[in-house]
Amino acid sequence: MILFEDVHSGKNNYVYCQTDENLRFAEHTHYGYEVIVVREGELICTLYKAPLRLTAGKAMLILPNQIHSYETPSHSKSFLCVFSPDNVEEFFRETENTFFENPIFDFDDMEKLDLLRRGASNKFLVKSILYYICGKAFSSSPVKGSNSSAPDFTYKLLYYVQENYAEDISLKTLSEQLGYNYTYLSQLFRKTFHCGFPEFLSGYRLDRACTLLRTTKKTVAQICNECGFRTIRNFNVAFLKKFGVSPTSYRRDSGKNI
């Protein structure tokens, strides 16, 4: 199941940095840009099922909504930064609905990464560094229109689900809203996400519920309703099946019982 990172999905002027050793992370996507820089060793980034090898001194810029994962074969040290599109508005406008022919590029300016990691208080300096990273990626590879059916479908689906997950939606309503033949949509959906739409939608709703449990004061009943579950019982059963704990226990154990 693809992880939807709501916390990385479009907050204004959002910039988040981390350093990792032996990074491993399952398939996920979000509405921000993500840059990964390998400092030591080797890292495999899988982008839309295509494994790409990054070694020391190499970087990769992942565009909004692209599905990706990370795996370290033996050893790696890396720097990762996720940032919202409004930090690089002009770059976003010029590259929206495109993809890099080769998203890997050379990067050895660690001083700029350290400034980002330390959280420079000068927003103009931060944005200049992010533009510098985007410029390095842009100058190293041609961009192409997103003309393959899977990425185009993925963009449409993620926007639709994010806007309508609380409603009573189905693959039938999805096919009508997005203008796809139902049979074709069903086949494309399974090929892209390796599961059926009900499982996909439930996973999205549960991931959204986790975010609300950790970060808000809303009651479990309010979160249940907001995330599209018809009854508390259905919500509790689905949550327990996926995470092994009840929503109440999850909130308590996360240390965010606010």
Q: What is the CATH number of the domain that holds 239?
A: 1.10.10.60
Task: Provide the whole-model pTM.
Answer: 0.63
Q: How far apart are CA 63 and CA 70, in angstroms?
A: 15
- Amino acid identity at 184: Y
| 12 and 114 fall within a common domain | yes
Domain match, 171 and 102 both: no
Do 137 and 202 have their domain in common? no
For the residues 226-249, what does the mean pLDDT come to?
Answer: 93
Is the domain of 106 the same as that of 172? no
Q: Which domain, by its residues, includes 101?
A: 3-145
- For the chain, give the mean pLDDT: 85
Give the pairing of strands 76-83 and 15-21. Answer: antiparallel
The beta strand positions in 9-66, using DSSP E, are: 15-21, 25-29, 33-47, 50-55, 58-62
Residue 130's beta-bridge partner residues? none
- Are the C-beta atoms of residues 149 and 188 closer than 8 Å to each other? yes
**Taking 50 as the threshold, does the pLDDT of residue 145 lie above it?**
yes
Q: Is the pLDDT of residue 17 over 80?
A: yes
Instruction: Report the distance separating Cα 33 and Cα 104, nearest Å.
Output: 14
- Across 121-133, average pLDDT: 92
Sole residue written with tokens 């689906």:
157
> Total structural domains in the chain?
2
Domain C-terminal end among 145, 170, 196? 145
